[in-house]
Amino acid sequence: MVKKPPRDTKIGGIQSTKKTSEIDLTTGIESVSGVKATSGITGIGKAERSGVRRPTRTMTLEEREELFRMIDEEAAKMFGAGGIPAEKRELVQTAVKMAVDSGLLDTGGNDDTPQPGPVEPKKVKKKLV
Amino acid sequence: MNREDAVKEAPDGGPTLSIEEANNLVIEHQGWAESIARSVARAWNMDWRSDGLDGAAMEALIFCARRFQPARGVPFRGYARRRIHEASAEAAKRSKTWQRGLAGSDKIEGQARELSAELLNVFPELRSGQLPYPDDSSGDSEGDVRGAIRSLLVGASFIAAKQGISTSLPDEVMDYKRMLIVVASLEAVHQLVLWKVYWEGLSLRNVAVEWETDELNVIREHKAVLAFLFKQLATRKQLNKPKVRPGLREIAMKLRKDKRSAVFTELLKDHT
């Protein structure tokens, strides 16, 4: 059963100011508790993306052969486990070389500067079954 | 200074060069623009003059000089190089040499040109002589270079697979079956990134805009997936598929509910 709140009583009147009483007692100040040990770092919040990307190195024509060598090596690793036929591998390898090569500028910029040979796909010998 | 030489306002409000200044810029960079055209021609075993790359490069140079806004703080060569490369490449694709290559006796060369042209669209930094390095790398180490090359090899394999499958020849599908099986095992969001970029031809930026997310989230996810694919294709062992990075997790969760997003899974079903 819900108890009803007491009825509000009316304000009867304002009494005269009473004399203040003295402070009887002050309780002692409690001792300062010891510093608690810190808890471990629970985690690190995600860093805000700065939106700034580092400048990347531009390849030059002088690095062409080295790049082609790496393309051959990485292609051998990738296709070594089998999968696509040799002709398709050659196609992919040649295409990557062409794409990379197209961005390698000769720093001479001279019309008479002899250009290295074009990227040529290797002739793939088909096995006769 | 007469009215014709007055600084003009570009559409976005920044000042461009006067005609005289733009012409001087063209003269100054003509040799450089020609070297871009020569590099494209060299890569594709074409002649930069007779196949029209020289004219296209000069047109692009003039166009860039007229629109260049120095106040933006971007060096002119950085601004113009990609555009000149694109123009040279487009001219090459329109040439008779290119068309003959597709139908001629050396089909591999013609197909490789087509494939590399698409690869340049997926990895546009190649046009500026840069490799697709990991985001936190400057490309100074051999490891970075090899990582970038792996991304290119996987990317090129995808494009080749798509081109092969589009011929609807069963043999073409079988040639790439192992790769497609690996892709079909990826998270739906990863499959969708690869589908949109390699099958639908969207840029990574377009994908980011479509998904209303930061472009870097998509770029990083794309690179992580390519790195995994390289490792998986290079071994017979079953590797753990990559987890979705925090940037795309929300999208991944939405896509998981939509079974149609497992696009490569569906593709394999249709062709096998």
Tens digit of each residue's pLDDT (9 = 90 or more) over A77-123: 988 766 678 888 999 999 999 999 999 998 654 444 456 777 766 55
Does residue B137 sit within a domain?
A: no
pLDDT level of residue B47 (50, 70, 90 thresholds): very high
- Total domain count for chain B? 2
Q: Which residues contact B116 (CB under 8 A, 6 or more apart)?
A: A94, A95, A96, A97, A98, A99, A102, B43, B44, B156
Does the pLDDT of residue A49 top 80, yes or no?
A: no
Expressed as residue numbers, the domain containing A71 is 61-101
Interface contact flag, A81 B39, Cβ < 8 Å:
no
What local confidence, expressed as pLDDT, does residue B270 receive?
Answer: 74
Residues in CB range of A113: below 8 A, 6 or more apart? A106
Whether residues B151 and B267 fall in one domain: yes
Contacts A74 to B, Cβ<8 Å: 146, 149-150, 153, 230
Q: What is the mean pLDDT of chain A?
A: 69
**CA dihedral (A103, A104, A107, A109) positive or negative:** negative
| Partners of residue A104 in chain B, C-beta under 8 Å | 39, 129
Same-domain pairing of B68 and B24: yes
Residue B92 and residue B203 in one domain: no
In a domain, B116, yes or no: yes
- A69 found inside a domain: yes
The pLDDT, as a whole number, for residue B108 is: 85
Distance CA B147, CA A74 (A): 9
Q: Is the pLDDT of residue B76 over 90?
A: yes
Residue B186 falls inside a structural domain: yes
For residue B6, what pLDDT band results from cuts at 50, 70 and 90?
very low
Query: Rounded mean pLDDT of B67-71?
Result: 93
- Distance of residue A127 Cα from the nearest chain B Cα, in angstroms: 16
Domain, as residue range, for B71? 3-128
- Residue with the bigger pLDDT between B125 and A113: it is B125
Range B79-108 average pLDDT: 90
- In the prediction, which pLDDT does B101 show? 82
